[in-house]
Amino acid sequence: MGRDVVAITGAGRGIGFATARRFARQGALLALNYEKTKDTLEEITVVAKEHGGDVLLFQADVADHLQVEAFIAEAERKFGQIDVLVNNAGILHSVPTQDESWERFERMMAVNLGGTFATIRAVLPGMLKRKSGRIVNVASELGLIGFATYASYCASKGAVIALTKAVAKEVAPSNILVNCVAPGPVETHMLIHDTVEFNDETREQVPLKRFGQPDEIAAVIEFLAGPGGSFMVGQVVSPNGGAAI
C-alpha cells in the first residue's frame, strides 16, 4: 500500500490499534481517531515514522458528527486526501431487552451506527472527486446471527452491515469499494470486560476453542484495503473461528 492515507476510528486499542500498527509498518500516512486512549498511539507514531510514514492523532467522539467532520477535515488538510477509511470505533453492553434504557440504546446507535455513517459521509466527497477509495466497516457476527441480551448491539451492527451494502452499491461505479468485517469473539478490552461473553464456556463453543486476536482481524481489514480486495464490493467477511458458519 505504500504511502496511502489511512483514517481509522477507535484506534487506541483492540482491533483499531492492531490495524493501525499493520498500516504503520507499511509506511502509511495515518489519521488516527481516539476518544480516551491516546498513550498507546505513541508506539504507532514511532513505527510509522521508522517506515517513512507519518501520524495525525485526533480526539473525537464519533457519536458527534461535527467532531467526525473535524477529524476528517484535519486529516485531509494534513495529508491532502484519504485513501482508506476503517470504521472501527464501537461500544458494547449486555442487558435484557426489557431492561434496556433509551439512553443506552441511543448511545449504542449513535456510536456504532451514527459514527460509521458520519465518517463515511465525511470522506465520500473527496473519494468521489478522485473516483478512488476503500472503506472497511467493522461490524460483528452478532449483527448476522443475533444473541440474547445484546439486542441493542446486534441491531447497531446489523445496521452497519446493511449500510455497507447500500453504500457499496451506490459508490462502486466511482471505484470506491465498501466492505465489512464482522468478527466473532475477539480478545479485546471490550470483550474482556463483558462477563457474559468472556468466559470458558463461550470459548469452548467456538470450534477453534479460542477467541480471536486483534491482529487476526486487522489482517482481514488490511486485505480488503489492499490489492487483494480489488474485486470485493459490499461483502461481509466474518473471521469468527467457526462460531458462525
Mean pLDDT by 10 residues, the chain (245 residues): 86 97 98 92 96 98 98 98 98 96 98 98 98 98 95 98 98 98 90 70 89 96 98 98 92
Residue 243, domain member (yes or no): no
Residues 6+ apart with CB under 8 A from 238: 141, 144, 181, 182, 183, 184, 244
Per-residue pLDDT at 195: 62
Paired with 8 in beta bridges are: 32, 86
Residue 195 lies in a domain: yes
Provide the pLDDT for residue 1.
Answer: 42
- Amino acid in the structure at residue 208: L
Q: In the numeric block, which cell numbers belong to residue 8?
A: 481509522
Residue 244 included in any domain: no
Give the whole-angstrom CA distance, residue 140 versus residue 167. Answer: 18
Domain-embedded: residue 242? no
Question: How many Cα atoms within 13 Å fall on the side-chain side of residue 186?
Answer: 27
- Taking the C-alpha atoms of residue 17 and residue 10, their distance in angstroms, rounded to an integer, is 8
Q: Which residue has the cell 452478532?
A: 142
Residue type, 89: A
Residue 206 is part of a domain; what is its CATH number? Answer: 3.40.50.720
Active site residues: 153
For residue 141, being part of any structural domain is answered with yes
- The pLDDT score that the predictor gives to residue 128 is 98
Q: Which domain holds residue 184?
A: 5-237
Residue 21, C-alpha cell as written in the block: 500498527
Enter the pTM of the model: 0.95
pLDDT score, position 197: 67
Q: Provide the number of structural domains found in the chain.
A: 1
